[in-house]
Amino acid sequence: MARLTYHSAVKPCRGQFVSGDATLLLEQNDGVMAVICDGLGHGRPAFEVSRAVNAWVEKQTTRDPEALVLGLHEVLKGSIGAAVGMAWINTTTMALRYAGIGNTVGKIFGGRERSLISRPGTLGIAVASVRVQEDVLSPGDFLVLHTDGISSNFTLVDYPMMLHDKAETATGEIMRRFGKDYDDSSCIVVKCSND
């Protein structure tokens, strides 16, 4: 039977003491919710928006990415806004549902590499539409979510050992190898493996 392990990391851009990026990993009996958030700009205002996103998501009973993204759009109105990507993974079937708005990136590495597409816009300011993508993780797959503080064009050629590393190691390596000093950065890695 397949199981999930996961890890996240956040780093402020050079010269800042707090990060406008944030991550959230929520476990429930039937699944795991992974949320990546990038409050617009840097420093305290962006930090406060990202903190508000996490606090609101934690209080919700639904784990439907579309409903959560649309709800966040309403909650963040009047704020500086945020880019958010979120994935719900059923821990029994490994079915994945993803929705994102703005400059957040989702990729699945493993048997075949595929991208999860975030729609244009900024939550709290302008959202044209929400699209939910569905996929299924297989043992050996790595789900990687990150903000635009990490270069989005890396592949397994750039980090060939990723599929052999633990989720925690992969998170640190992605941040170190592909993170940008001039922007806040955050990353979540979810690894699907056999028991």
Structure confidence by residue, pLDDT tens digits, 158-184: 999 999 999 999 999 999 999 998 899
Q: What is the CATH number of the domain that holds 69?
A: 3.60.40.10
Structure confidence at residue 79 (pLDDT): 95
Is the per-residue pLDDT at 122 higher than 80? yes
pLDDT band at 34 (very low <50, low <70, confident <90, very high): very high
Sorted by sequence, the CB contacts under 8 Å of residue 93 that are 6+ apart come out as 136
Structure confidence at residue 24 (pLDDT): 97
Is the per-residue pLDDT at 89 higher than 90? yes
Is the per-residue pLDDT at 1 higher than 80? no
| Phi and psi angles of residue 150, each rounded to the nearest 5 degrees, phi first | -120, 135
Structure confidence at residue 194 (pLDDT): 86
Please state the domain count of the chain: 1
User: Which residue from 171, 110, 178, 119 is spatially nearest to 138, judged by alpha carbons?
Assistant: 110
Amino acid occupying residue 151: S
Structure confidence at residue 67 (pLDDT): 95
Are the C-beta atoms of 98 and 86 separated by less than 8 Å?
Answer: yes
Mean model confidence pLDDT for the chain: 94
Structure confidence at residue 15 (pLDDT): 87
pLDDT band at 28 (very low <50, low <70, confident <90, very high): confident
Whole-angstrom distance between the N-terminal and C-terminal Cα of the chain?
6
Condensed to tens digits (0 to 9), the pLDDT of residues 126-152 reads 998 899 999 999 999 999 999 999 998
pLDDT band at 32 (very low <50, low <70, confident <90, very high): very high
**pTM to 2 decimals?**
0.95
Q: How many CA atoms lie within 13 A of 178 on its CB side?
A: 22
CA distances from 145 to 61, 62, 79, 195 (A): 22, 20, 24, 23
Domain that holds residue 82: 2-194
pLDDT band at 111 (very low <50, low <70, confident <90, very high): confident
Is the per-residue pLDDT at 195 higher than 80? no
* Mean pLDDT along residues 80-90: 97
